Amino acid sequence: MKRRAWVYILGVGCTAAVSGLFVGRAPAQTDPKERFPKPTITTGDLQLGPKPTFRADTNLVVVPVAVTDTLNRFVLGLQKTDFHLFEEGVEQNVAHFSGEDAPLSVGLVFDESGSMDYKLRNSRDAAAQFLRTLNGDDEAFLVEFGDNAKLSVGLTSHMEEIRSALKNVHPGGLTAMLDAINTGLPR
């Protein structure tokens, strides 16, 4: 079961800061003729007339929201009526609401130290089960650690590469956990 949810709330005319997301207000409307003079396309001495232009304005603002419970698990199944959006104390209309399953990038940091001798099979099975829950658009990498930490498989969407690397793991050595965490953190 996936434990992720992205909820996009679109509020009409919303410019407030919501959950740390700051959105700027669009510039005041002016006469388009003053803002955009009509350009012309010229090729040598031949004038082809006005160049087509595209203008778009929107009053919709995307507000991505992730809702978790007290145990930091994603709350799924929320509806539009479960949300209220405020701008400077005034409730805004939520014009569109949708939930999306966004692709994940996951780092798997795997302990293969000597202390894992009798636990290695269960850990390998748990990692394989976790990898089966990922979607085709998700990607993962594998950092293995014992005495030393090493990036065994770089970021890939081919989970078989990680499962194959885990089949070759043999326990031994000390536990360089902090080195493994440092190896797995993005630069």
Condensed to tens digits (0 to 9), the pLDDT of residues 16-50 reads: 333 333 333 334 444 545 555 555 555 566 656 66
CB of 6 closer than 8 Å to CB of 64:
yes
Distance CA 9, CA 24 (A): 16
What would the pLDDT profile of 77-125 be if each residue is shown by its tens digit? 888 889 888 889 999 888 888 877 778 899 999 999 999 999 999 999 9
Predicted local distance difference test score (pLDDT) of residue 17: 31
pTM over 0.95: no
Instruction: Give the model's pLDDT for residue 89.
Output: 92
Q: What are the boundaries of each domain within the chain?
A: 6-100, 105-184
Instruction: Give the number of other CB atoms < 10 A from CB of residue 136.
Output: 8
105-184 CATH pick, 3.90.660.10, 3.30.930.10, 3.40.50.300, 3.40.50.410: 3.40.50.410
151/153 Cα distance (integer angstroms): 6
- State the burial class of residue 82 (Cβ atoms within 10 Å of its Cβ: 0-12, 13-18, 19+): exposed
